[in-house]
Amino acid sequence: MKWTIRQLKDHPDDIINFEESLDIKEQLMERNPSILDVESVMVNGYFVPSNEDIILHGQIDTRLTVPSSRSLEPVSLHLNIPISERYVYEEYDGNVGEYEETTIVLQYDYIDLDEAVTDNIAINIPTRVLKPGEEDGDLPSGNDWTLVTEEEYEQNLAEEKAESVDPRFAALKTLLDNEDEEE
């Protein structure tokens, strides 16, 4: 859904409310190939136009299916994401750091709500997604490989380091072992 700048600025109300169901499944899956399915995308909020900028505040509610980061099994993931953006023209010379909203420079004479929602969903998909029960369950393994936690890896590394002896010092170790036996 696109809103033209003229449409927003000429609106009779100071605040322009909206509630939309967006069909952006194809855009999301193209942007992030790990997304297996997008059930629905609802967005509601409002625009506040002024002379130098247009502010968008809203809430995105969606359900995605993504692979588990441990087993790659499909996991249904509910996302409820706030959206807070500020649209300005290229010639705007205000201090961007003064505002809580993400500032976006307008490239065209419209605001593409589909693009804003797609961007916000894409950056808010968690990197660690687990199926129920995977948190406490065994880690996957296969032929000649096994998945280990970081703590297990560090422990294995420390054990290997302790067991390995520098070949240059192997002869010295036998000398020490011989001395221990004599005492």
Mean pLDDT rounded to a whole number for the chain:
80
Q: Give 99-115 pLDDT, tens digit per residue.
A: 767 777 888 888 888 88
Dist. CA 75–CA 78, nearest whole Å:
10
Dist. CA 112–CA 2, nearest whole Å:
4
**Which has more confidence, 47 or 163?**
47
Q: What's the pLDDT score for residue 180?
A: 62
Q: Would you state the structure tokens that stand for residue 10, as one six-digit string?
A: 């000429």
Are 42 and 62 spatial neighbours (Cβ–Cβ below 8 Å)?
Answer: yes
Please provide the size of the chain in residues.
183
Average confidence (pLDDT) over 4-21 = 82
CA 100 to chain centre: 20
Are 129 and 68 spatial neighbours (Cβ–Cβ below 8 Å)?
Answer: yes
Dist. CA 81–CA 18, nearest whole Å:
16
99-103, 124-128, 175-179: which is most confident: 124-128
Whether 136 has a pLDDT exceeding 80, the answer reads no
Output b/e per residue, 110-127; b: 16+ Cβ within 10 A: ebebbebbbbbbeeebee
Q: Give 37-74 pLDDT, tens digit per residue.
A: 888 899 999 888 887 788 889 999 999 988 888 778 88
Whether 138 has a pLDDT exceeding 70, the answer reads no
Q: What's the pLDDT score for residue 63?
A: 92
Whether 80 has a pLDDT exceeding 90, the answer reads yes
Q: What's the pLDDT score for residue 166?
A: 67
Whether 75 has a pLDDT exceeding 80, the answer reads yes
Are 5 and 110 spatial neighbours (Cβ–Cβ below 8 Å)?
Answer: yes
Dist. CA 130–CA 71, nearest whole Å:
8
Q: Give 18-35 pLDDT, tens digit per residue.
A: 888 888 888 888 888 888
